[in-house]
Amino acid sequence: MVQVQKTELGTEAGEFLLVSKPKGWTSFDVVNRIRSVLDVSKVGHAGTLDPMATGLLIVCTGKKTKELDQYQGLEKEYIAQMVLGARTSSFDAETPVIEHRGTENVSEEMIHAAVKQFVGYQTQLPPMWSAAKVKGRRLYKYARKGKEVDRRPREVLVRSITVDWIRMPKVRLTVVCSRGTYIRTLVDDIGKRIGCGAYLGELERTRIGNFLLEDAVSLENLYGPRLKQSNS
């Protein structure tokens, strides 16, 4: 079992932490809060999670931030809830539905067949509502102003997709993929292939390499009273 490895809190020797990111927090919010609570200058994370997503975040402090690069490229595992019959501009639940389509003619066989087509190497265009940068600025900042900018496509690997359950119009998937894979883009693409559209309703990262969400701790459990006081 992977355990959270810690040295003395707040020292420059640093810590390696497995943190369970709550919904509504950005990855940078988590980093900034740990930096504030520990009063250390160096804090970083390996692998951004969107604000609406929850799950495993690797955080390092002090001298251990030099180790972050070795975690960036590790394989990721996600549990994603796909909502069929609708699309949003952000490809997830962060923005309103802009298109509705019926799912009456969508069968389980159609869903399984469409999902299978997205296993393997593929090219993705970073979504406008993402933290990727163009000209030094986060894409979502352009999107909030209604602007769309040119982005470079990237090759990603979806190693496996498992359909956990189908409860129309919702479908739960377990996705194992490479670094840089946008699950919201994957869901949007699957929805297009099925023909009814889809958006990402919920997302949880459950694994990074051999590090598991079940071994992570919440921010409150990590720093207890000091974190609660800083939130008040």
Q: Which residues are catalytic?
A: 50
Q: Which two tokens stand for residue 143?
A: 């999107």
Q: How many angstroms separate the CA atoms of 152 and 178, rounded?
A: 17
In sequence order, what E strands does 16-93 have? Answer: 16-21, 43-46, 54-61, 76-84, 86-88
Cβ contact 21:204 at 8 Å: no
Pairing of the two strands 198-208 and 54-61: parallel
Q: What is the DSSP letter of 67?
A: G
- CA distances for 25 relative to 127, 145, 164, 209, angstroms: 19, 21, 27, 23
**Three-class DSSP category at 210:** coil
Say how far residue 154 (Cα) sits from the centre of its chain. Answer: 17
Helices 183-194/108-116 angle, 10° precision: 130
Q: How many angstroms separate the CA atoms of 107 and 130, rounded?
A: 31
Residue matched to tokens 């939130």: 231
